[in-house]
Amino acid sequence: MVRLPIEQVSSERQRGTMRRLQLGPETIDVLSYRHAFHAGNFADVIKHIVLIEILSHLCRKDTSFDYIDTHGGAGLFALDAAETARLQEYKSGFVRLMGRDEPELIPYLSAVRSVNPPAALENYPGSPLIAAQWLRPQDRGWVCELHPADHQALQKCMQPYPRVSVSCEDGFAALNARLPPRSRRAAVLIDPPYEIKTDYDRVVDVLIAAHNKFATGIYALWYPVVDRARIERMEQRLINSGIRDIQRVELGVAPDTTAHGMTASGMIVINPPWTLLDTMRPLLPVLAQCLAGELGHSRCDVLVDE
């Protein structure tokens, strides 16, 4: 059973983001966050470019690997759907990169084109669908999504990919059960919505526990910069954890602020591909300029050496 502290449950219900879900004999509280409202935005751009770099690196060896996604979402987002069309964040995200010819962008743009008709733009792929395109016959995927409607959509989206298993469960708990993988190689994507403030601490706890259980996996932790102090605490906890080989890649579209809204987004990667910094360092300034002009900013650095 998934339980939230009483004060947090009360707060989320007042904001209208909490719903009750019956799973057999259990009743749980889940959040109503829907990624469709934000599909294809600048945060997706940086997350999916880094994810593709990780998957590409793993595919350079013939030996199998596992892909584990703790918060899969719906898998595929129709750009004319009510949720996506409401904010149209994709127009200030990946749409601004269409037509670019930087070599580092080609795999990402190809992934988006692969889910669209020729010469048309109708859909944007989520992380599970992008990853499924990279999985080979010897590889396996494990994707979790707790939101009932998104889980149903994700199951449908993954039907053409029998190597991907989809489950309706808490991704944090499921990660522990999936480690260590039989393949002894894995890419783990952890990208919760952070609607509950304790998620900023929980993701670090989960990541440290996962690394203790399976130290050689590649772990990619997505984070939103809404409150910079929270991200700095996350980073410091990871730096103090004793885990080695941690890199950070971040893309910003506005200066940090105490006002409401996400101004930047990034990925913290443990055991990153040796190519990650070389790929992202020249690309990030291009992304920042294309997506935000003079307000754009980025960082690409090492938090902890090997």
Does residue 256 carry a catalytic annotation? no
- Mean pLDDT in the chain? 88
Rounded Cα distance between 104 and 141, Å, is: 25
From the CB of residue 183, how many other CB atoms can be counted at a distance below 10 Å? 14
Asked whether the bond before 107 is cis by omega within 30 degrees of 0, the reply is no
Rounded Cα distance between 151 and 35, Å, is: 12
Structure confidence by residue, pLDDT tens digits, 76-92: 999 988 877 787 888 99
Give the model's confidence band at 56: pLDDT under 50 very low, under 70 low, under 90 confident, else very high: very high
Residue 34, pLDDT score: 64
Rounded Cα distance between 142 and 66, Å, is: 8
162 phi and psi angles, rounded to 5 deg: -65, -15
Which of 191, 199, 256, 278 is labelled catalytic? 191
| HSE-CB for 269 with a 13 A CA cutoff | 29
Residue 36, pLDDT score: 74
Domains of the chain, residue spans? 1-32, 35-304
Paired sense of beta strands 18-23 and 26-31, if any: antiparallel
Residue 290, pLDDT score: 96
Q: What is the pTM of this model?
A: 0.88
Spell out the residues 6+ positions from residue 185 whose beta carbon is closer than 8 angstroms to its own: 58, 61, 63, 64, 65, 66, 216, 217
Give the model's confidence band at 201: pLDDT under 50 very low, under 70 low, under 90 confident, else very high: very high
Architecture of domain 35-304: 3-Layer(aba) Sandwich (3.40)
